[in-house]
Amino acid sequence: MEEIITDLIENGIESSSLDFKEKMYPKSGTPDLLKDILAMANSNYLGKRYIIMGVKDRVGEERIISGISQDEVIDAASYQQFILNNIEPDIHFDLNYIDFQNKKIAVIVMDDTTEKPYLTKKQYKGINQGLCLIRKGSINSIANKYDFDKIYERKSGVFEVRILDNQLRAVRPDDGTALLDVSFRNSTTNPVTLIAGRLLLTDSGNKIRSTHSVYGFEKEAESEFRLEIAPKKEITGDLHIGFGSNDALLLDLDEYGSTDERFKFTLQFMDSWNNEYSVAVTDGIVFARGDFLWKVALKNK
């Protein structure tokens, strides 16, 4: 967990799954806490969401690690009870603390929420009963008809990504990509167009060892990734994932392009409506061939 939070602080951008707060929410709860939890719970992101407190993040300014004081440290139950009293259906989350640059950081971690839409139970300090907020990018917005349509559509159909083979095959040095066998299943009634993707490789110590962009599916890799999956359709095949000689070093591949180490593969995508999808497998295997290994060979001389 600490490695993931550290990476988010250093490299993360506010999104539908990530929010930075300069200060800790008060123990008793506030309208801001209520709105932030509500919006994050209704986010279209599939996977964990994070609210990181003690980090000042302003557009156009350098990110500042402000930290929180020891007096501000509280138990998760304080926030949890406040949220249970004010939002329905129930939302559960964890509150964790880490040390970063000699300062204490607090992190609310929320698992994927499956009971959308989440609404306020009652009026609270200017917040009306029945309010539904949804996180869109870095903004908390009032849910509109389209948002509700998408929520109920997903209840009757979902878009799923699966990693079919846990082997990342770096065997295409000519176009600088590795191959990963995947499945996309769209059981909704609308097409889904993926416009961005990446693969994270995490080691057994939960450290992100390398990050790789997605460049294509089945056909040759392209400069910009774009893939449309029609309604009620499943497609399977190889993703073209960026890979280079530096990655072979980062992953400690030997002169034969192999390693005994196993990795967690986390595959993430964004579609044309800014919906985000994530899938992970453990025991991932990486191997490389050909010119991907020239830096490894040079290192071993």
Q: What is the pLDDT of residue 255?
A: 94
What is the C-alpha separation between 8 and 18, in angstroms, rounded? Answer: 8
Quote the distance between the C-alpha of residue 172 and its chain's center.
Answer: 27
Q: Rounded mean pLDDT of the chain?
A: 94
Percent of the chain at pLDDT above 70?
A: 100
pLDDT tens readout for residues 125-134? 999 999 999 9
Percent of the chain at pLDDT above 90?
A: 84
Domain spans of the chain? 1-154, 159-300
Closest CA to 39 of 110, 126, 125, 129: 110
The Cβ-side half-sphere exposure at 20, using a 13 Å CA radius, reads 21
**Residue 286: pLDDT over 80:** yes
**Residue 277: pLDDT over 90:** yes
Q: Strand pairing partners for 228?
A: 193
- Is-contact 9 21, C-beta < 8 A? no
Q: What is the pLDDT of residue 190?
A: 86
**Residue 42: pLDDT over 90:** yes
Q: Scanning the structure block, which residue is given the tokens 């986390």?
A: 266
Average pLDDT over residues 189-208: 94
Q: Strand pairing partners for 279?
A: 267
Question: Higher model confidence: residue 183 or residue 59?
Answer: 183
Homologous superfamily assigned to 1-154:
Schlafen, AAA domain (3.30.950.30)
Determine the number of helices (DSSP H) and then strands (DSSP E) in the chain: 6, 19
Q: What is the pLDDT of residue 125?
A: 95
User: pTM of the entire structure?
Assistant: 0.59
Average pLDDT over residues 140-152: 92
**What is the fold, at CATH topology level, of the domain defined by 159-300?**
Immunoglobulin-like (2.60.40)
- Is-contact 186 233, C-beta < 8 A? yes
Q: What is the pLDDT of residue 99?
A: 96
Q: How confident is the model at residue 300 (pLDDT cuts 50, 70, 90)?
A: confident
pLDDT tens readout for residues 45-62? 888 999 999 999 988 889
pLDDT tens readout for residues 250-267? 999 999 999 999 999 999
Average pLDDT over residues 68-90: 95
Q: What is the pLDDT of residue 46?
A: 80
* Amino acid at the residue 248: A
**Residue 201: pLDDT over 90:** yes
Indicate the pairing of strand 192-202 with strand 208-217: antiparallel
Average pLDDT over residues 89-108: 96
Average pLDDT over residues 40-45: 94
Q: How confident is the model at residue 112 (pLDDT cuts 50, 70, 90)?
A: confident
